[in-house]
């Protein structure tokens, strides 16, 4: 895989796996390769890569016991000491939360020392915030997130992000999530949920429930390109 334009390698470490992708720099980053390493620290760690044509390569199995972020940074530094590295933090997205959302139920003396709620999965929220109608700028409430803002619409929009294939476990999770705020008039459409459709609420539901497949690697690439000045805008 050769490219005349600069490329960005994104490495996204999760709880038990790593997702990675290679993007070609440009006004719109172009994905050239992506893949994942699953079951890190467990028996049967496997590497799966997908080529530019969307075809999966032959899986490779190997032993991997650790994938902490600091370890990944050090490993790349040792192998490619001149390669610039940019760290993209999930918590950055939540820094604009209102003070009341950052406060924890602890004595304020600890808050004064910097102990507060930081938020999680910021890359995913940044991604589907831009994918939702209105670009997420209308104050939609993020149900499973930490950034909360009142919506000017009478029927609030709840979003749930999924990075996994449709499965019975995911369908059950969506149903459980929608049960909690049912007092707001949320009605789940069972057949749409079973099919993992884009909208899984009924037409009579007072709030729209959307299932959006996240792409954290793309958000990392955008951040790196902006930081490095390689987005050509």
Q: Return d(Cα 96, Cα 220) in angstroms, integer.
A: 19
Give mean pLDDT, residues 155-183: 64
| pTM for this predicted structure | 0.70
Mean of the per-residue pLDDT values for the chain? 75
DSSP secondary structure letters along 196-226 = T-SB-B-TT-SSEEEEEE--HHHHHHHHHHH
Query: Residue 79's beta-bridge partner residues?
Result: none
pLDDT of residue 33: 86
How high is the pLDDT of residue 62?
A: 64
**What pLDDT is recorded for position 10?**
92
Residue 159 pLDDT class (50, 70, 90 cuts): very low
Q: For the chain, state the CA radius of gyration.
A: 20
pLDDT over threshold 60, residue 154: no
What's the start-to-end Cα distance of the chain, in Å?
A: 25
d(CA 133, CA 142): 13
Query: What pLDDT score was predicted for residue 189?
Result: 92
pLDDT for the residue 68: 63
Average pLDDT of the segment spanning 1-7: 72
DSSP 15-29: SS-EEEEEEE-SSS-
Condensed to tens digits (0 to 9), the pLDDT of residues 42-85 reads: 776 777 788 777 777 767 776 665 556 667 788 888 889 988 88
CB atoms closer than 10 angstroms to residue 139: 14
196/34 Cα distance (integer angstroms):
23
More confident residue, 149 or 6: 6
Give mean pLDDT, residues 203-217.
86
* The token pair that represents 173 in the structure block: 């999770």
Confidence of residue 204 (pLDDT cuts 50, 70, 90): very high
The string of pLDDT tens digits covering residues 125-147 is 888 776 654 444 433 445 444 34
Note the pLDDT of residue 149.
39
Structural contact between residues 128 and 159, judged by C-beta atoms closer than 8 angstroms = yes
């Amino acid at each position: 895989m050769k490219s005349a334009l600069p490329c960005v390698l994104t490495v996204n470490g999760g709880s038990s796996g790593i997702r990675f992708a290679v993007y070609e720099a440009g006004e719109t980053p172009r994905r050239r390769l992506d893949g994942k390493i699953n079951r890190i620290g467990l028996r049967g760690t496997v590497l799966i890569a997908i080529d530019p044509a969307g075809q999966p390569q032959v899986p490779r199995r190997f032993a991997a016991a650790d994938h902490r972020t600091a370890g990944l940074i050090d490993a790349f530094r040792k192998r490619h000491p001149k390669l610039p590295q940019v760290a993209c933090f999930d918590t950055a997205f939540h820094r604009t939360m209102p003070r009341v959302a950052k406060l924890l139920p602890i004595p304020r003396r600890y808050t004064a020392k910097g102990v507060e709620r930081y938020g999680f999965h910021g890359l995913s929220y940044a991604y589907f915030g831009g994918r939702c109608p209105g670009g997420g700028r209308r104050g939609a409430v993020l149900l499973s997130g930490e950034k909360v803002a009142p919506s000017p619409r009478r029927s609030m929009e709840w979003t749930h992000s999924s990075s996994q294939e449709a499965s019975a476990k995911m369908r059950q999770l969506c149903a459980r999530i929608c049960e909690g705020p049912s007092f707001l008039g949320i009605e789940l459409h069972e057949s749409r949920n079973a099919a993992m459709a884009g909208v899984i609420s009924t037409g009579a539901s007072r709030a729209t429930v959307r299932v959006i497949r996240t792409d954290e690697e793309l958000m990392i690439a955008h951040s790196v390109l902006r930081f490095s000045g390689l987005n050509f805008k």
